[in-house]
Structure 1
């Protein structure tokens, strides 16, 4: 049982690290768009530069939304796995409704009881990402159609790697993330939070991944 628990903790850290690496790969492998592959009708050939810029923006929005959804899903399921395996280790059974409503709050409350306390700063960062994710999933990133337009505008004012496009038409304004927001501002901080807890619990020397 002890060996299985140790391996699970190692796998949790590996999953977070792999998620961060996959995000960087997905961003760096984005398809190139150039004038040659636009295939515009001759009547609007003179508008090539305009359409090229539009296609690049649409590509970046699609990749942006995919990465936000991918990052959030992996973070969320990793934290839920952590809760469920702690419960299993302690001979408990979490309700089938666990983390079904206010997921982050339930996860945080449970982990706090088990000495895996999520700090206020990390919790706030995760709540911000959840808000960005909801905008991406439910409004395709268009903040005007989000239920949290004002909150998103406030978040972008405090995060260097988040921005809202400056379209004249407010209906077209989209929230965009730099990959550093996902890899450094979010996932890396979760890794460091978990590493610190594990080191304090005496796991450092046995886990090569812990520096």
Structure 2
């Protein structure tokens, strides 16, 4: 039996509304490089992956200006309206190249601060697992439950002892992930990440602790923070 191969999917079809920028956040720059280029290079430089698929927005006109567009390890396809649609589109685009038991790692385009040792730990921990799992960080802050309204009022404090923040990459077997996403989307379930689709299918992922500074760039202040984190690697 041949060993499973590893494939990378980095969905990049989002428009990043909360950044209030003139372009999607994956095409903003840190140290004069696109965030998307930083993210892809950090992962692909590991030498782990047999290939990479990047789902793009159908109206994307920034991709040709990236370093990644000339990287023969990277393929592109058309993404969808939501993250789950884009990931499923990428999985279908890879169909002729992958085996059912190959591993697929999905990583956020706007998460350039992934630490190489965390990637190595994720893979070594999960490589023989029947389902897979994801990088995650235990919640450190005190959490408050609040009423909705213009000025939220505290309803109580939430027990954080069993709570984790989901990070990426998230790593699952190719065929299981395809079936989980198709089932969840077909039944109109909320799919905020690949793990949630796997959970809905009854296949419970493993949490592999990763660095809490593996941040997702979401609002303008995150750009400076990500630049600082990257300068420390």
Give the TM-score, by structure 1 length.
0.26
Give the TM-score, by structure 2 length.
0.24
Structure holding more helix per residue: 1
